[in-house]
Structure 1
Amino acid sequence: MGVDWSAAAGTLDVTSALERLELLAEPVAAAVRELDDEQIGVTEIDPDLADTAAFCEKYGSPLELSANCVVVAGKRAGEVRYAACVVLATTRADVNGVVKRRLDVRKASFAPMDDAVQLTGMEYGGITPFGLPADWPILVDSEVAAAPAVVVGSGVRRSKIITPGELLARLPGAEVLEGLGR
């Protein structure tokens, strides 16, 4: 295996996601199969501890190696434009600056939970940059891209993906942006 997941994994045992596709939401499993990269790890967790702060506290995963993926929506000329933003858990996505400019919209905000769940085919609290709709940009903060390993959602609340940040920066539709996380 070419990656050391231990810094981000805390006390969890991580396995290649390719060997445990049943731990992933269907669109995530499809994306992982297509990428066919052993650097994508997965670990099972208590679904009640899927939220970042509770997860990090319970499993000893550092907040600075956990990344949140949020769905943002903005409108331009009646068209809704979506994007996923991936930022470290120690920061917040600059929705009203960086994201609004990138989407070229007058106003951007977090997408309503029901919309995010329906459009991604993932559970709320488990949304991940893997397996998102192909026409969405995936905006990755430069600090996430530089991390040796980060924890992200798996599409479901009962597991987490651990992977090098540079792999997230190489996902189809990914764009690395300075200052996305503030």
Structure 2
Amino acid sequence: MATSTTTARIGALTWLPAVDHPELLAPSTRTALLAWAAQDADVATAVLVASIDPELADTAALTQAYALPPAASVNCVLVAGRREGTERVAAALVRATTRADVNSAVKRLLDVRKASFLPMDRATAESGMEYGGITPIGLPTDYRLLLDSSVVTDDPDAGGRIIIGSGLRRSKVALPGALLGRAPGVEVIDGLALA
């Protein structure tokens, strides 16, 4: 699917249209991204991908090595809880300069007594993604996608885009936060993040 040869610079990375570079996306991410692009024409040109050193996939190392603004990075954590014997799982997405309010906001949204982070082996097995690259694009459809409302508003320090995982440790995805806010299944939540 060739849509564009446009490149962009964010920090010290060269970003290319993600729909044109499936080799830089986990299989589930690629499938979900193509389905999303078929529904929303902005996705083909606005969702970008860049190759990185997989040893630098964690946020602190990534921002330092590639001169990326810390406010641009958005972390995706997988959280689960049980209610009446039924497990409820969500991805909570917050800017890396904050942290997800798991013990109050996420717990309340899932309507569970206790919410806990998914263990790494389970998170990677169920998502089909690599740890350090987990992204909301392509997660199982029964996961809720909770996005802190601050992510959809441009942060002046972030350059108009946010950076999320690609499903792989060797690449990252960049896109406008407002676009992620209208992705299929995403719920924009006020107060999901703690400073």
Find the aligned partners of 2:139 and 2:183 in 1 and give their Cα distance: 10
Q: By how many angstroms is 1:133 displaced?
A: 0.9
Residue among 80, 83, 94 paired with 2:87: 80
Residue among 111, 136, 143 paired with 2:143: 136
Residue among 150, 156, 172 paired with 2:168: 156
The one-letter code matched in structure 2 to 1:70 is V
Question: Please, what is the CA RMSD of the aligned residues?
Answer: 1.5
Does 1:181 find its partner at 2:193?
Answer: yes
Q: How many aligned positions are there?
A: 179
**Relative to 1, partners in 2 of residues 1:12 and 1:77: Cα closer, same or farther, differing over 3 Å?**
same
The one-letter code matched in structure 1 to 2:115 is A
Secondary structure at 1:106 match in 2: coil
The one-letter code matched in structure 1 to 2:94 is V
Secondary structure at 2:99 match in 1: coil
Deviations 1:76-96 (A, max 9, x none): 111111000110000100001
Secondary structure at 2:13 match in 1: coil
Find the aligned partners of 1:135 and 1:170 in 2 and give their Cα distance: 18
Q: By how many angstroms is 1:139 displaced?
A: 0.4
The one-letter code matched in structure 2 to 1:16 is P
The one-letter code matched in structure 2 to 1:96 is N
* Contact persistence 1:28–1:155 (CA under 8 A): yes
Find the aligned partners of 2:121 and 2:86 in 1 and give their Cα distance: 18
Secondary structure at 2:106 match in 1: helix
Find the aligned partners of 1:79 and 1:112 in 2 and give their Cα distance: 18
- TM-score norm. by structure 2 comes to 0.88
The one-letter code matched in structure 1 to 2:122 is D
Find the aligned partners of 1:35 and 1:173 in 2 and give their Cα distance: 11
Secondary structure at 1:138 match in 2: strand
**Relative to 1, partners in 2 of residues 1:77 and 1:34: Cα closer, same or farther, differing over 3 Å?**
same
Moved beyond 4 Å, runs of 4+: 3-6
Find the aligned partners of 1:46 and 1:142 in 2 and give their Cα distance: 30
Find the aligned partners of 2:104 and 2:70 in 1 and give their Cα distance: 24
- TM-score norm. by structure 1 comes to 0.94
Structure 2 residue ranges without an equivalent (≥5)? 38-42, 155-159
Residue among 101, 108, 112 paired with 1:105: 112
Does 1:10 find its partner at 2:11?
Answer: yes
Deviations 1:130-155 (A, max 9, x none): 01111211000111111321000000
Secondary structure at 1:123 match in 2: coil
Does 1:27 find its partner at 2:28?
Answer: yes
* Contact persistence 1:50–1:158 (CA under 8 A): yes
Q: By how many angstroms is 1:4 displaced?
A: 9.7
Find the aligned partners of 1:94 and 1:73 in 2 and give their Cα distance: 13
